[in-house]
Chain A
Amino acid sequence: MRFRSLTAAGTVAAMLALAGCGGGSDDAGASGPADLRMTIWSANAKHTALFEQIAAEYKKTHPDVGKITFESIPIENYTTALTTQIGGGNVPDLAWILESTAQDFVTSGALAPIDKDPDLLPSTTKTWEKDGQLFAYPFSTSPLGVFVNTDLVTAAGRPAPAQQVAAGNWTWEQATATGAAVQKSGKGGIVVGDFDYKGWDTLNSIWAGWGARPWSEDGKTCGFDQPEMVAAMTAIHKMVFTDQAMPGPGVTKDFFAGDAAMVVTQISRAALLEKAKFKWDLVPLPKGPAGEYAVVGQAGIGVLKRGKHVDAAKDFLAFFSNQENSAKLAAFFPPPRKSQLTSAVLAKANPLLKPAQLESVVIDGIERGDIKTSHTGYAELQQTVRAALDPLWKPDADVKAVMSGVCAKVNPLLAK
């Protein structure tokens, strides 16, 4: 009998908890000022200071809005933590969303539609649209470039990449030769930012130069076993194990600490070079067999449909991303606005970069770059490909067989 009472109490508690977890509440009509909360992954003090400054200005004209907080979650578990918050009923009002999970958020209906400013470049909004509606503001559209430690390159007796760009022979072949020369000295050659032989999707900065894609445009067909991808991965494998131009698996070299010749990463990382003790440069991605190309990383800010104050959040996002604030944000996050993609605006926000670098890497990159890989159910795809690609990272790997193996594992997921 007592056991039955306990079980009944447990069941009631479970039902109550479930009722709390099942869906977000909408207390938009509740009295008192609305507090807004936005999850972000950056813990950079300069970023949060700017966000808070924009929030403070917004509050001056919006007494109906109470506190606006920016909650930083580490990038490693950002999306996992965000979705856990949503599942637990602790839904933020706004969220910074990474491009890899854009389709999950947009297609699931988790985000509320927002107004589309005609000034936004169509190439920057593509990932965040569905049925003609925009579901997140692509506030950071950051092209990938190659930061170069010119001291290390010169010491290795190789021509500076900027000279090779000017001469028109800045290719992956040349970059590999430079990386190999520097690695012989014990430093790292070419580092692909955030790759670490697990985050394979960052290799799109290389394989796009071969015209390769992990899956077709409609997301239904695997591209890993296609000739372009096999050729690109063969080149990368050779770069690591034969030419030894890239630090191998399990070897860490930090470019920003002066330990590597080059790093392929987003230009927003330039801030890390503020106190660099070496001479550095920024050049576009080297030419691949498919010619010149650009790749862009992106982040959007969306309003969560199940947040407590959807309308207030939309209004704040419109203010946060208006012309004036977008120009301020350009100091860290390249803007998606046509009117602000000028070297004059960008130079003001990025004093570390020269106008020529801004022109060739940033403006050119945003205008014609491919947005990084995305797909619905991306986390599962990411893990599946990671596991299937692991056999590639051995000196004697059969590249073609590994790539076919990747497709065998990925096809059931793409077919869903």
Chain B
Amino acid sequence: MTLLASKPAPLVRPPERAPYWTMRRRDELAGWLMVAPQLVGIVAFVIVPLGLVVWYSLHEWNVLAGTFDFVGGANFEQLASDPRLGPALRATGLFSVGLVVLNLSLALFLAVLLNQKLRGTVVFRTLFFSPVVVTLVAWTIVWGFLLQDNGGINGFLDLIGLDGPNWLRGESTAMISVIVVQLFKGVGLNMVLFLAALQGVPAELYEAARIDGASAWARFRRVTVPLISPTILLTSILTVVGSLQVFAQIAVLTQGGPGTSTTVLVYYLYQQAFQFHHFGYGATISLLLFVIVLALTVLQWRMRRKWVFHES
């Protein structure tokens, strides 16, 4: 009775624990593992160096004496009053504007030209792209010989009865020379990107424009440019950032001269840090360059809403 009266306690099963490794967690882990190598690279080669540059910019580091003294904002104060910074920024601006305008226009012109179904276009595409794969310093050294007063360029000009200037010794011609050397080195890459974009423009749009009586220029302006505008955005960001980082050409061709006419910001920071041994001040200049590159990139990215026709 007693036994009957006392009901056995209901069997309460503990709630079943959900397995930890759910599909979502597995996917998440797989994702992290896949990006881990890249993440390690970003930490090691971007975040840590950036942190070090900020740290160094607050110090005076005498490499030879082995001293590393905290100076607070002294390097930033020096930057604000440095009389050599203005000319360096001016040279950087000149180089960047000259290179970006020439590079993008020439690359687009060549791409449109080589997008035609004509004999020999493959050869010309290879020809214009080949400098991209040539070692930068070797390319620049060869141009250095060509641009000498008694070099190949002036020899050619002499043949056609022209008296060429001393390219690397004139303040304006030296900057033009550096721009042209870099232009021919890099135009092939943008040309290929434009070519790829041009080949993605639907032929029926040109057909429709033609039927509507649009001229070649109108077709280019109203059809081609809007449809390749994402590529124009990409190439302009790449070219602007690349132009702000020019170094080897200056180091090999002009060493910043004549005067300081080709002393661009990167070359100036190299001089301060590695030649004059002002590592702290060099780090401060590199922070300025970082801010300029970041600001220009953000500006271009924001402007895309105004002039980029579509984004895929």
Q: A residues bordering B, Cβ < 8 Å?
A: 6-7, 9-11, 13-14, 17-18, 22-24, 80, 83-84, 86-87, 104-105, 108-110, 197-198, 248-252, 305-306, 377, 379-380, 383, 386-388, 390-391, 393
Are B149 and A251 interface neighbours, CB within 8 A?
Answer: yes
Are A380 and B148 interface neighbours, CB within 8 A?
Answer: no
- For A383, the chain B residues whose CB sits under 8 A away are 256, 271, 275-276
Distance, CA A108 to CA B67, complexed state (A): 10
B277 proximal to A (CB < 8 A): yes
Distance, CA A58 to CA B277, complexed state (A): 35
Are A86 and B257 interface neighbours, CB within 8 A?
Answer: no
- For B63, the chain A residues whose CB sits under 8 A away are 83-84, 86-87
Question: Which residue of B has the minimal Cβ distance to A248?
Answer: B149
- For A306, the chain B residues whose CB sits under 8 A away are 66
Given the known inter-chain contacts A24-B66, A109-B65, please indicate yes or no for A11 contacting B166, CB distance below 8 A. Answer: no
Minimum distance in angstroms from A128 CB to a CB of chain B: 15
Q: Which residue of B150, B260, B275, B277 contacts A250 across the interface (Cβ within 8 Å)?
A: B150
Given the known inter-chain contacts A22-B68, A87-B61, please indicate yes or no for A390 contacting B257, CB distance below 8 A. Answer: yes
Minimum distance in angstroms from B225 CB to a CB of chain A: 40
- For A22, the chain B residues whose CB sits under 8 A away are 66, 68
- For B47, the chain A residues whose CB sits under 8 A away are 6-7, 10
B143 proximal to A (CB < 8 A): no
Given the known inter-chain contacts A250-B148, A252-B148, please indicate yes or no for A387 contacting B260, CB distance below 8 A. Answer: yes
Minimum distance in angstroms from A273 CB to a CB of chain B: 24
Of the candidate stretches B48-56, B241-249, B285-293, the one touching chain A is: B48-56
B259 proximal to A (CB < 8 A): yes
Given the known inter-chain contacts A86-B64, A108-B62, A110-B64, please indicate yes or no for A14 contacting B51, CB distance below 8 A. Answer: yes
Minimum distance in angstroms from A31 CB to a CB of chain B: 25
- For A198, the chain B residues whose CB sits under 8 A away are 255, 257
Distance, CA A310 to CA B267, complexed state (A): 35
Distance, CA A380 to CA B148, complexed state (A): 26
Q: B residues bordering A, Cβ < 8 Å?
A: 43-44, 47-48, 51-52, 55, 61-66, 68, 148-151, 166-169, 255-260, 263, 271, 274-277, 279
Question: Which residue of A has the minimal Cβ distance to B260?
Answer: A387
Distance, CA A206 to CA B43, complexed state (A): 54
Distance, CA A391 to CA B68, complexed state (A): 38
Are A84 and B274 interface neighbours, CB within 8 A?
Answer: yes
Q: Which of A6, A24, A250 has the most CB atoms of chain B within a 10 A radius of its CB?
A: A250
Are A110 and B166 interface neighbours, CB within 8 A?
Answer: no
Given the known inter-chain contacts A83-B64, A250-B148, please indicate yes or no for A380 contacting B48, CB distance below 8 A. Answer: no
Are A380 and B169 interface neighbours, CB within 8 A?
Answer: no
- For A305, the chain B residues whose CB sits under 8 A away are 66
Distance, CA A22 to CA B255, complexed state (A): 30
Q: Which residue of A7, A108, A379 contacts B65 across the interface (Cβ within 8 Å)?
A: A108
- For A252, the chain B residues whose CB sits under 8 A away are 148, 150
Are B259 and A387 interface neighbours, CB within 8 A?
Answer: yes
* Pairs A–B under 8 Å by Cβ, sample size 25: A6-B43, A10-B48, A13-B44, A14-B52, A14-B55, A83-B63, A83-B274, A84-B274, A108-B62, A109-B64, A110-B66, A197-B169, A248-B149, A249-B149, A249-B169, A250-B151, A250-B169, A305-B66, A306-B66, A377-B276, A383-B256, A386-B257, A388-B259, A391-B259, A393-B169
Q: Which residue of B55, B66, B274 contacts A80 across the interface (Cβ within 8 Å)?
A: B274
